[in-house]
Structure 1
Amino acid sequence: MPSEWIFQDEGYSGSILQRPGLEHLRDLSAEGQIETILIYSPDRLSRKYAYQVLLLEEFSRYGVEVIFIKSPQAATPEEQLLIQFQGMIAEYERAQILERCRRGKKHRAKNGFVNVLSGAPYGYRYIKKTDTSSAYYEVVENEAEVVRNIYHLYTEEAINIGEIARRLTRQGILTRSGKSIWDRSTVWGMLRNPAYKGSACFGKTEKAERKKITRPLRKRGGFSARSYSSRERSKDEWIEIPVPAIINEVIFDLVQERLKKNKQFSIRHTKEPTLLQGLLVCSICGYAIYRTSTRTSTRKIYYYRCIGSDNYRHPNGRVCSNRPIRQDYLGLSHLFHKYK
């Protein structure tokens, strides 16, 4: 069978509709280029019964015949009922598997097993369980020294996160993934990770509806294997798992206090609302466009600027030649004053 006749969505959940292969199949069906679709079983079309009904009705409307290899052709009401039952059972099985996994991981976390965590953070090595011992974290001393240095720079020398990342990059220290360039978000995550004080936590995040499309996602055409994002849970819901400490608990608490104050008094904290915040994207490089300002002797002037054009954000300098645009040149100033 020619490869262009095969529609696959490797790595995409069957519980969502936004899958590249499925989208292409629906487009071709709407254009009248497909007569028959062969599908292994109903749960390969979708893991949600409601989506199965929606797609089958859509294909039928376009005159496309759908044949399930592992199910009888729905020529009679009884056969249609059987396919519907298979769809409902597939959705039930998926929900049951997810719930069993969730409760099983939660139970093991409460009993102190680290193998329920996604992986060992920088500074640790994950040691798999054996017949005689459970899995555990082992301190990697050269990485642990880097962690201690990061905490020292942030607390004792009051160096900001961006400068810490640049220093690590200049020193040629590799990240956990082997990259030579340190990102500020990596350093920020390390400063917030309670594992370094001896308490790795399970259940720190939970699923939430995706609220924004990131630059990597835009470059892939807006498709994602996940139809959701994650958000942080309340700390009283976290389950602590003891691991070897790298940082003193007092130092860790000082870091959290400073991070909290920085967030409260950050210059990036939005004081003046903007209608276009989080909506603009650079047409040249794909990075987001943000609003910034400068002050003259008489007034404050707002600009829209591409993140890719900022030298300090990128190790090798700016990656975009797009110039800033003054807000008042866009003719939107009256809207901002109207909706304040």
Structure 2
Amino acid sequence: MLNLANYIAEERITALYLRLSREDEQEGESNSIANQKAFLTDYANRNKFRNLQIFIDDGISGVTFKRKGFKELYDLIEQGRIETLIVKDMSRLGRNYLEVGKLTENLLPMHNVRFIAVNDGVDSQQGEDDFTPFRNIINEFYCKDISRKVKSTLRLKSKQGLPIGTSAPYGYKLNKDTKTWEIDPEAAEIVRKIFSMRSAGESTTKIARTLRKEKVLIPSQYAAEKGYKKPAIKVHRDKYLWTEENVNRILKNQSYCGDIINFKTRKKSFKVKVQVSNPKEEWEIHKDVHKPIISRQLFEDVQKTFNKTKFRQSKNVVERNMFSGLLKCSSCGANLNFKYTHDNQDNKYFSCFNNRHRNGLCNKTHHIRLDSLTHNIRNKIYEIIQFANKFEDEFVKIVVNENYKRIQMEQQKNQENLELALKRNNELDVLFEKVYEDKALGILNEEKFLKLSIKFEDEQLEPKQRIKYLKEIVTEEKNHEMNSDAFLKIARKHSNMNELTYEILHEFIDKIIVHHREQIGKEVFRKIEIYYNFIGKVEMPKLKKAEIPSSQKAFGRKEERLTRVI
């Protein structure tokens, strides 16, 4: 009979962990990945270790533990699948004294993992090594010393008027021999266009929309496709998703008039890689270092446009309204923006932000008029106030019953929708891989490859946005807590409500989900779902007409027909 304990033990892994940072490369071949691999494999085979699995982090600093290979190893340790972990020396595991200590003194013993650092003579099976903590401190000091040397080198480069960054801004390319920036004609033309449009009075929103429409690659994607740097994100994103932020970053970049600006940001410490902004007085600015893309005069003129209180507006005016932040798109979960036109200020409405600003990331506008929305929401709040105050016990019973049924149904529905969206997203991932494989094998030519890539990218935008939205909804539903007493307190406070104000609206309403208009026969309607604070989405029995004051019937029947509130 098979002994399960022995079977599991035999299946546990001997992990060989290899790491090399850019600084380590300068020390020669002895620490190379190939050398570490040969060294550890030979050691493991000589000492009869079985079921070897190699984990590699190449070009990653030992200070950070956010490494892909280490993460895979860490997950397997927590799952209890690692029996022995072997490294060439302690510094390969890491150069952060505290983190290495946590790992070797807590995590590995907790999961019964034997730890061996060959060159340091460390083997946890042989008992504790008193020198190990000191060795970890020395490794950390080494990293701190390297950090100081790197900073000194950067200061020296900056004093010579050289850029200290590893890549050039959009519009330039880095000359690897001279370490200077040269104009990239194709991207530089886009930079000139952006400055020209802004100078002519166009808003950053209009500029971004124009670049999206003309299918101009965003800077990061352009750099990746040109081979200037590795893509931070793979092909599964919108290559043409220019935003106001992209445009603003270019318009405010002084490099385009020939200057080098160093030390705009810094890392908090050699351990913490987060970038923070330096105050302007700490910047090092070197003027007229490289060939400018635009004139200094144009750059300065454009900067003045950001300080003007009045700038040429687009036809649609975007403002905040008392409903701002409450209205959500039923398709993608984005906020609905409040707008009106200069030509007709009576036509005030809301529409989906992702449809208007994100290159059609949401395929429906979810357009709804302010007057119709105000009328329906005011009526609903009035009705629930009246019912809650007159029939408290019945109100509590309805809230409990409706929420229980709704949460059960919606959790199931949203979970199913999430699984469908994830399935479609995975299918598109497979199609992407097949297209790339066919191109690599020469089955697809460049033209067909680009057409299919763009088609799949565009198709993937909606499920990705839907996945994000549904994950938030599922999490929110799990964390939702009902409190009918708190709601009743607010209802008593506003029992004599006559008009809808910002205060009343936000005290009662958590969010309002707006659906796109639907047509059944000759009838056109829109579904609106109201989620109240403390009690979620509930439907109260209809009040008799006599109980609704005339002030609540101010709007005509047309709006009531157009909007179905639930």
Q: TM-score, normalised by structure 1?
A: 0.68
Which residue is equivalent to 1:212? none
Which residue among 290, 300, 309 is the counterpart of 1:253? Answer: 300
Question: Aligned partner of 1:231: which letter?
Answer: V
State the match for 1:167 in structure 2: 210
Unaligned ranges ≥5, structure 1: 210-225, 335-340
DSSP 3-state at the match of 2:182: strand
Shift of 1:92: 0.9
Secondary structure, aligned partner of 2:261 = strand
- Taking a change above 3 Å as real, the CA distance of residues 253 and 227 of structure 1, as seen in their structure-2 partners, is same
Work out which of the residue numbers 113, 128, 132 in structure 1 matches 2:162. 113
% of aligned pairs identical?
Answer: 24
> What does 1:82-93 align with in structure 2 at a 5 Å threshold?
82-93=131-142
Find the counterpart in structure 2 of residue 34 from structure 1.
82
1:234 Cα offset (Å): 2.0
> Are residues 77 and 40 of structure 1, via their aligned partners in 2, closer, same or farther at CA, if it must alter by over 3 Å?
closer
Separation in structure 2 between the aligned mates of residue 18 and residue 102 of structure 1, nearest angstrom:
22
Give the match for residue 192 of structure 2.
148
- Tell me what 2:355 maps to: 310
Aligned to 1:207: 267
Letter in 2 for 1:68: A
Stretches of 4+ aligned residues off by more than 6 angstroms: 1-4, 75-79, 266-272, 300-303
Deviation at 1:199, TM superposition (A): 1.2
| Structure 1 match to 2:250 | 190
Shift of 1:333: 8.0
Residue type matched to 1:139 in 2?
I
Query: Are 2:82 and 2:113, in contact at CA under 8 Å, matched by a contact in 1?
Result: yes
Q: CA deviation at 1:59?
A: 1.0
Q: Are the counterparts in 1 of residues 104 and 115 from structure 2 also a CA contact under 8 Å?
A: yes
2:462 matches 1:320: yes
After superposition, the C-alpha distances for 1:311-336 in whole angstroms (9 at most, x for unaligned) are: 530367643375996178333389xx
Across the aligned residues of Structure 1 and Structure 2, the Cα RMSD in angstroms comes to 4.7
Q: Which residue of 1 aligns with 2:104?
A: 56
Closer, same or farther in 2 for the Cα pair 1:269/1:51, shift >3 Å? farther
Residue 67, structure 1, aligned to residue 253, structure 2: no
Pick from 505, 513, 532 the counterpart of residue 331 of structure 1. 532
Task: Report SS of the residue matched to 1:15.
Answer: coil
Matched residue SS, 2:100: helix
Query: If each structure's helix is expressed as a fraction of its own residues, which one has the higher value?
Result: 2
The 3 A distance-change label for structure 1 pair 106 and 261 is farther
Offset of residue 52 of structure 1: 1.3
Shift of 1:26: 3.8
Q: Is the 8 A contact 1:72 1:79 kept in 2?
A: no
Distance 2:142 2:95 in 1: 9
Structure 2 residue aligned with 1:222? none
Shift of 1:183: 1.8
Name the residue aligned to 2:62. 14
Give the SS at the match of 1:330: strand
Matched-pair contact (CA < 8 Å) for 1:74–1:83: no
CA contact (8 A) 1:110 1:240 kept: no
Contact 2:62 2:95 (C-alpha < 8 Å) held by counterparts: yes
Is the aligned partner of 1:237 residue 2:305? no
Native 8 Å contact 1:126 1:135 kept in 2: yes
- Structure 2: distance between partners of 1:315 and 1:98: 45
For residues 246-295 of structure 1, give each alpha carbon's deviation from its aligned partner in whole angstroms, at most 9, with x where no partner exists: 32323222323333568xxx9999999x999xxx9x9x98xxx5544548
Q: Does the 8 A contact of 1:203 with 1:238 survive in 2?
A: yes
SS of 2:166's equivalent? coil
The offset of 1:54, in angstroms, is 0.6
Q: 1:228 to 1:275 in 2, by over 3 A?
A: farther
Give the C-alpha shift of residue 194 in structure 1: 0.6
**C-alpha distance 31-118 of structure 1, shift in aligned 2 (>3 A):** closer
Aligned-residue offset at 1:107:
2.0
CA-to-aligned-CA distance 1:124-146 (integer Å, 9 cap, x gap): 343344xxxx5433334554343
| Pairing 1:282-297 to 2, within 5 Å after superposition | 291-292=335-336, 294=338
Deviation for aligned residue 1:169? 4.4
Bigger relative CO (Cα 8 Å, ≥ 6 apart): 1
Q: Counterpart of 1:81 in 2: which secondary structure?
A: coil
